[in-house]
Structures are given as structure tokens and as C-alpha cells.
Amino acid sequence: MPDPARLLRALIHPLRPRREASPTTDFLPGSESQGHVLWRLLSHSPQALFGVAVLALVAGTALTAGWWYPDDPLAMVAPPLLWPGEDPAFPLGSDSLGRDVAAGLVHGAKVSLTVGLVAAILSLGIGLTVGGLGGFFGGALDDALVRVTELFQTVPSFLFVIVLVAIGKPSVTVIVTAIGLASWPVIARLVRAEFRSLRETEFVLAARSLGYGPARLILREILPNALPPVIVTTSVLVATAILIESALSFLGMGDPNMVSWGSMIGDGRDQLRTAWFLTALPGGAILLTVLALNLVGDALNDRFNPRLRGLR
């Protein structure tokens, strides 16, 4: 039987190898050479450079959205269905209700990124707790938590999200919660596997022999060393959450009071044939962002994979 921990790492990020001892030389928050390594990595990988550039642009846009377009992006300010370039005041055109597409894209960046990040953080929180506790303590607790994780994993996650959104209502909060609740099992399994292999390592055993309690062992010794693959996985979760939100909007379950890229696609889908830019522009924004997140994830992953370092 293949090592499940390795498989899981491979599932999330295929390039991650089995962890070899000496965790302290690995990525640790605040380690000195980090910046240099990152730069070396970026300068050697055009994909990663592209990814970081796109993400920086999107995040910058999201943060300054209110400065570019201080008014409500849902306001009907233009004649309906202006094409991009038709009116210089609305460079990217307007939708069927006369809302400025450029304003929507800029504000949508904020909502879409928030949806992705918060949903990922939520599933990270649940996944770390469930996987960490199970992996560290083992025994009956672990068995029970594994069962719960399996249970959530057999339910088709998108269907699960749909049911949760129908129970609540289509608002950004509910959507984010639903996505977070549906996508934590991957993290839990990954974290559990990491914890199980780390708790037997020499430095953890050493710390244990010094009489440290479980809280300190988990938070100070194991967690920092288990984090890198988890962080990489999180970049994929952010991307997936953005895609799920857009699919929800496509099915008419988006938040009607907020502009997200997903909701713009949902609103524009009826005009797919007559005003394709209404779906193509936010669709392109999603595509670029998701692509960038994956490229950066790949690059981070390569950074942790010593065997491949020489190849690049």
C-alpha cells in the first residue's frame, strides 16, 4: 500500500517529495535566506514571475477599488449594453442594466478575492483542527475524526455547497461559509498525515522528553513544520473557491447585493450571444487569477522540493 501521506501531498501538489529529516532547514517563517530564495526562484521561473505579478495586480486593484470607483458598482449609470470602447467614460462598456463593467470588475476583484481567501482560511481552520488533533493524539479520537472526514468527503462537495446556500440565503457570508465547510476534508487528511509522520521525528521526541505539554508540542514544534505543504494547498483552495462561487452564480445562487466576478458572469450569461464581453471579461479575470494562484503554488512547491531544485 502506498504511503497515504505521500499520496495526499501528491494530490495537492504533485511535486512535493517525502519529507526528509532536518525540518529546521525547511521553510520557517522568518528564516533569513527566504527572500533571496524566493527571488532566485522567481527569476528562474517565468511562470512564477507571471503568477506573482498577476496576483499583485489583482490584490492592488482590490485594495484600491474604492479609490478608482467610489460609487456603488451596482448603480445604473450608463445606457445599457454599451460595448467596450464605445464611450470613453465607460471603457469596458456597460451591462444590460447600464452598470459600469469596469467598476464591476474592480469591485468584483475585492469580493472574489475575499470569497477565495476567507473560504480557504475557514477550511484551513477546520482542517488544521480536525487533522491536527487526530494526527497528534491518534487512537479513538483519530478514528472518530477520520470517520467524520470520510463522511464529508463522500458527499459531492458542490452539491453540499448548493444545499447549504439554499438553507441560508445567497449572501457572500453564507457562500463563503458553505465553501469553507465543504472543502476542509482535503486539508484535514493532509494535516493528519503530516502530524503522524512528524510526531515520530527526533526533534519532536526530544521536545517531548523535555516534558513539554501537547499544546506546546503541537503549536511550537509540529505545526510550523507541517505548514509549508498546507500553505501550498491553500493557494489551490483559494482558486477553487473562486471557481465554485462563479459556478454558484451561474446557477443563480450568487449574492444579489454584491458584485463579484462570478455574479457578473451569472448576470451576463443571458447576453452570451449578443454581448459576450459581459461574461468574457469577468471570466478572463477569474481565469487569470486562478491560473496565477496555481502558478505561484507550483513555484512555492518547487521551492520545497530539494530534488528538483537543481533542475531549474
Partner 1 sequence: MWHDLKRHFAGPLIAAAVVGLGAAGAHAAPRQGGTLTWIVTPEPASLIPLTNTAGGNAEIGPKVVEGLLTYDTDLNPKPLLATAWEVAKDGLQYRFSLRPGVKWHDGKDFTSADVAFSILTLKQSHPRGRSTFANVVEVRTPDPLTAVIVLSKPAPYLLTALAGAESPIVPKHLYEGTHVAANPRNSAPVGTGPFVFKEFVKGSHVVLERNPDYWDKGKPHLDKVIVRFIPDAVARAAALESGTAQLGGQAIPLSDVKRFSELPDLRVDSVNWAYVSNHQQLIFNLDTPILQNKAVRKAISQAIDVNALNKVVWYGYGTVSPAAIGKANTKYHNAGIQYFPVDTKQAEAALDAAGLKRGADGTRFKLRLLFNPFQERRAADFVRQSLARIGVDAVIESYDFATYTTKAYTERAFDITLEALANVFDPTVGVQRVFWSKNFKIGLPFSNAAHYANPEVDRLLEAASVEVDEAKRKALFLEFQQIVHDDVPSVEFGANPSITIRSKAVQNYAPTGEGLRGSFADLSLEP
Partner 2 sequence: MPHLARLGGVLRRTAWQAVPTVIGIVVLNFCLLQLLPGDAADVIAAESGSATVEGMAALRAHFGLDLPALNQLLGYLNALAHLDLGVSPRHNLPVTSLIASRLGATLLLMGTALGLALLAGILFGAVMAVTVGRWPDRILSVAALLFYSTPSFWLGLMAIVLFAVKLGWLPTGGNATIDSGLAGWAWAADRARHLALPALAMAGFFVAIFSRLTRAAMLEVRGQDFVRTAEAKGLGPFAVTVRHVLRNALIPVTTVAGMQVGTLLGGSVVIEVVFSWPGLGRLALESVLSRDYHVLLGILFLSSLLVIAANLLVDLLHAWLDPRIQVR
- Phi/psi for 94 (5° steps) reads -135, 160
Name the residue type at position 219: L
The residue among 65 and 281 lying less far from partner 2, judged by its C-beta, is: 281
- 261-268 and 101-137 are packed helices; what angle lies between their axes, rounded to 10 degrees? 130
CA pair distance 278, 206, nearest whole angstrom: 60
Residues lying near partner 1 in the complex (CB under 8 A) are found at: 72, 74-76, 80-81, 96-98, 166, 169-170, 251-257, 267, 269-275
Q: Are 127 and 190 in contact (CB under 8 A)?
A: yes
The residue among 87 and 270 lying less far from partner 2, judged by its C-beta, is: 270
CA pair distance 291, 240, nearest whole angstrom: 11
Applying the rule CB under 8 A, the residues between 255 and 274 that interact with partner 2 are 265, 269, 272-273
Minimum CB distance to partner 2, residue 290 (Å) = 4
53 binds partner 2 (CB under 8 A): no
Name the residue type at position 135: G
Look at residues 33, 34, 36, 55 and name the one whose alpha carbon lies nearest to residue 44. Answer: 36
Provide the mask over 81-120, with x wherever binding to partner 2 is found by CB under 8 A and - wherever it is not: ----------------------------------------
* Interacting partner of 98 out of partner 2, partner 1, none (Cβ under 5 to 8 A depending on kind): partner 1
Minimum CB distance to partner 2, residue 160 (Å) = 8
Applying the rule CB under 8 A, the residues between 160 and 219 that interact with partner 2 are 160, 162-164, 166-167
Q: How far lies 284's CA from each of 84, 85, 288, 290, in Å?
A: 15, 18, 6, 10
Count of positions (residues) in the chain: 312
* Interacting partner of 210 out of partner 2, partner 1, none (Cβ under 5 to 8 A depending on kind): none
* Interacting partner of 17 out of partner 2, partner 1, none (Cβ under 5 to 8 A depending on kind): partner 2
* Interacting partner of 2 out of partner 1, partner 2, none (Cβ under 5 to 8 A depending on kind): partner 2
* Interacting partner of 308 out of partner 1, partner 2, none (Cβ under 5 to 8 A depending on kind): partner 2
Q: Is 156 exposed, middle or buried (0-12, 13-18, 19+ CB in 10 A)?
A: exposed
Which residue has 523535555 as its cell numbers?
210
The only residue of 16, 19, 99, 192 in contact with partner 2, by rule CB under 8 A:
16
* Interacting partner of 149 out of partner 1, partner 2, none (Cβ under 5 to 8 A depending on kind): none
CA pair distance 180, 157, nearest whole angstrom: 10
* Interacting partner of 129 out of partner 1, partner 2, none (Cβ under 5 to 8 A depending on kind): none
Q: Are 65 and 107 in contact (CB under 8 A)?
A: yes
- C-alpha cell belonging to residue 256: 444579489
* Interacting partner of 155 out of partner 2, partner 1, none (Cβ under 5 to 8 A depending on kind): partner 2
Q: Which residue stretch of 52-60, 122-130, 192-200, 282-290 sits at the interface with partner 2 (rule: CB under 8 A)?
A: 282-290
Element (DSSP H or E) covering residue 124: helix 101-137
The residue among 47 and 129 lying less far from partner 2, judged by its C-beta, is: 47
Applying the rule CB under 8 A, the residues between 127 and 156 that interact with partner 2 are 147-148, 150-151, 153-156
Q: Are 262 and 254 in contact (CB under 8 A)?
A: yes
The residue among 74 and 146 lying less far from partner 1, judged by its C-beta, is: 74
